Structure 1
Amino acid sequence: MSSPQTTPSPPATASPLYKTMHATAIEFIESQTLDPTQPTRMSTSRIRAIRSPNFTHSWGHNYHVSITPPLRGTLSVDDFIAHLESMTPRLESWDTIITDMIVDEAKLSVVVRASYHMHAKGAEEKVENDLVWFLDMEQGGKRVQKGMEFIDAMAGARLRELMQGGGGKG
């Protein structure tokens, strides 16, 4: 099964707020794009720019989080960047495709589904981590103030195994 290669567009009849929130959600996801010109291979200024200064990040599903200590708690934007920077040295590359998006203007909320195709250094296979993000926007929809990330636990486990050098078939 192949995923669409284009980011979903807002409806032609979308309001200005809808279009702003849609664009903000896309930039939120794309702010984490591989950038080989940066020392950490990610633009931390781009990551910060789309998030409010009081941004918080957390993970779901509740049971998965309860048995995975690194996913417990809430991260600030600085903590989130540190989390990403702890992974990037072990990744050869990563590509992201936004596959679906739901914008709720009344709640200033966007749900984004995205596939992260991650290639651990030294591994032959790429792992598709199918994520769902719940994003709460600031008034006006121009920045994200809260993100909750739902990861594919099996893909995360496989990626962790590959990043630790366990590149066997599995």
Structure 2
Amino acid sequence: MPPESASELYKILFATAVEFIRSQDQDLNQPSRMNFDRVRAIRTSDHRHHFGHNYCVSTKPLFQGARSVEDFLAHLNAMLPKIDTWDTDITDIAVDEPRKMCVVRASYFMKPFEVNEPVENDLVWWLWMEDGGKKVKKAMEFIDPMATGRIRELMMTGGK
């Protein structure tokens, strides 16, 4: 929760950051187990998704370039059939009001099918909001390359 003394803009930016992360929660009421309309709703129509760290991205074509909302959803949709469960724990949120930007640290506990224990992917998101602060226009996702590699390995081997 934001501090009680926070300004209205701070509270809006904070809530937008939380909804951005929560929009990707597992939703068992959806055929894909993720509510893609919810993912779209928190992003602007011209939203761009980027990956970081620069060296990691330079060595992995999958992470290169900016993605539209639909490109990002296609990326997620390719993973979802291989992931049994995923839970998210938001660790911290820093809000920069003048720049309408938030930095979010979150752990994604991803468990591919036929795996007993989830793998923790500790991520940092940089989020830039549109002028009103209620939608994200740009996101940069900094992944844990070791955890991402392990999750990919488990998805491809069925947990073996």
- TM-score past 0.5 threshold: yes
C-alpha distance in structure 2 between counterparts of 1:44 and 1:157, whole Å: 25
What letter matches 1:96 in structure 2? T
Name the SS for the 1:164 alignment partner: helix
Normalising by structure 2, what TM-score?
0.98
For residues 62-94 of structure 1, the C-alpha deviation after alignment (integer angstroms, 9 at most, x for no partner) is 000011110000100000011111111000000
For residues 23-44 of structure 1, the C-alpha deviation after alignment (integer angstroms, 9 at most, x for no partner) is 0000000000001111111101
Q: Please state how far the C-alpha of 1:123 moved relative to its aligned partner.
A: 1.1
1:150 corresponds to: 142
C-alpha distance in structure 2 between counterparts of 1:86 and 1:103, whole Å: 32
Q: Please state how far the C-alpha of 1:166 moved relative to its aligned partner.
A: 5.9
1:95 pairs with one of 80, 83, 87: 87
What letter matches 2:22 in structure 1? E
The alignment status of 1:66 with 2:32, answered yes or no, reads: no
1:18 pairs with one of 10, 34, 38: 10
Q: Please state how far the C-alpha of 1:165 moved relative to its aligned partner.
A: 1.3
Name stretches of at least 5 consecutive residues in structure 1 with no aligned partner: 1-8
The alignment status of 1:129 with 2:126, answered yes or no, reads: no
What letter matches 1:100 in structure 2? D
1:48 corresponds to: 40
1:65/1:71 contact within 8 Å kept: yes
1:55/1:146 contact within 8 Å kept: yes
C-alpha distance in structure 1 between counterparts of 2:41 and 2:73, whole Å: 12
Aligned-residue RMSD, C-alpha: 0.8
Name the SS for the 2:46 alignment partner: strand
Name stretches of at least 5 consecutive residues in structure 2 with no aligned partner: none
1:160 corresponds to: 152
1:58/1:75 contact within 8 Å kept: yes
C-alpha distance in structure 1 between counterparts of 2:33 and 2:22, whole Å: 13
1:122/1:165 contact within 8 Å kept: no
- Paired-residue identity, %: 56
What letter matches 1:21 in structure 2? L
Normalising by structure 1, what TM-score?
0.92
